[in-house]
Amino acid sequence: MKDPATAARAGAAPEPGAVDLGPKPRLGYAGSALDRAADRRLDPAFLQSAESAADAGAYAVAGDLVVMRKGAHGLDPLFAPAEARALAPVDEAVFLGLDEGRARFGLGIAAAAVDGLKARSDLQLADLRSIAVQGLVAPEHLPPLAEAKAMLQWHARHRFCANCGAPTLSVCAGWKRDCPACKAEHFPRTDPVVIMLAIDGDLCLLGRQTRFVPGMWSCLAGFVEPGETIEEAARREIREEAGVICGRIKYFASQPWPFPMSLMIGCHAEAIATEITVDRSELEDARWFSRREVAQMLAGRHPEKLATPPPVAIAHHIIRAWVEVGADVLR
């Protein structure tokens, strides 16, 4: 059997089975080791002693940016809570949970402090997407960072009561905002997004948004609308964006996506009418790709340098599952 790279150079695309995709990469932001310990959120004495414990840790987040300390072994996003609070004024605090009994917090740093922190030689600030894609921190930090960022962003956007407009107060260790004026309670939200790969046997449908880096193609995606099931949303998004009609929808996996606070619901979709009509307001382009072409894209061996999203994104895993088993992924 020809080596896949040699075959690609010779212009003969390898069969999917001949492409070594390597071990399955880790999905970003998923698989948190934290026990959220929700029963402790209403226990102020516990929370106070937990934050001052010697093994407590806090993530410092300023808007889209995560503060990290430069160390001999790379970047470390986990500070002692008192150390994190000394960095800058803290707008909001959230109890994230317990890591083998050690309390973890998310602290929202005032935006006005960002320039001062960026100027410090012992710190580095980066957005969470870059941190994940470039592997700037140990992977176990990504899920609690996603939790912290999504929660702190929710606080930043829900300072006033949606019912009466009065300022709201953070309670319950950051897991609720109460309105003292009208007594409404506001809970953190996660917005469901369907992200799906339409499949027609050994072909799959990929699209390009104008904001994508050159050469990157991905699954189609969109927000689930009120009154809709996941399956209905997946069929609607594919029909709206690409004109393709789908029947069977098979759930694959999900992923927290803290930009700002979504849950990506990954699916495979069986195409039953395959003619494409691209909605140019949503997509730059959409087309059918063969399984062996997509295998080259996943392996980074496409002759025209076309690529899929990186393993940090669930799209990579949805696409890879189909490349590995073909249309059987719908069973």
What is the spatial distance between Cα 314 and Cα 300, in angstroms, rounded to a whole number? 17
- Local structure of 168: helix, strand or coil: coil
For position 179 contacting Zn ion by CB under 5 A, the verdict is: yes
Cβ of residue 163: shortest distance to Zn ion, in angstroms? 4
Residues 151-170 that bind Zn ion (CB under 5 A): 161, 163-164, 166
Shortest distance (Å) from residue 154 CB to Zn ion: 17
In the set 34, 114, 172, 184, which binds Zn ion (CB under 5 A)?
Answer: 184
Q: What whole-number distance in Å separates Cα of residue 51 and Cα of residue 217? A: 44
Convert 36-74 to b/e letters by CB count within 10 Å (16 or more is b).
Answer: ebeebbeeeebbeebbeeeebbbbbbbbbbbbbbeeeee
Per-position x/- string for 113-142, each x denoting binding to Zn ion as judged by CB under 5 A, each - no binding: ------------------------------
Select from 178-186, 216-224, 226-234, 305-313 the region that touches Zn ion (CB under 5 A): 178-186
The number of residues that bind Zn ion (CB under 5 A) is 8
Candidate list 42, 112, 182, 273; residue touching Zn ion; CB under 5 A: 182
Q: Which residues pair with 191 in a beta bridge?
A: 262
Q: Which helix (H) or strand (E) holds 171?
A: strand 169-171
Query: Rounded to the nearest whole angstrom, what is the least distance from the CB of residue 170 to Zn ion in the complex?
Result: 14
Task: Tell me the per-residue interface mask from 33 to 72 with Zn ion, x by CB under 5 A, - otherwise.
Answer: ----------------------------------------
Q: Candidates 113-121, 174-182, 275-283, 313-321 — which segment interacts with Zn ion by CB under 5 A?
A: 174-182
What is the pairing mode between strands 57-62 and 102-109? parallel
Look up tokens 């409404």; give the residue.
184
| Helix residue spans in 142-290 (DSSP H) | 142-157, 230-242
Query: Interface residues for Zn ion in 229-248 (CB under 5 A)?
Result: none
The stretch among 182-190, 206-214, 246-254, 265-273 that binds Zn ion (CB under 5 A) is 182-190
Distance in angstroms (rounded) separating the CA atoms of residues 153 and 127: 13
Q: How far apart are CA 263 and CA 314, in angstroms?
A: 11
Q: Which is nearer to Zn ion, 43 or 178 (CB)?
A: 178
Residues lying near Zn ion in the complex (CB under 5 A) are found at 161, 163-164, 166, 179, 181-182, 184
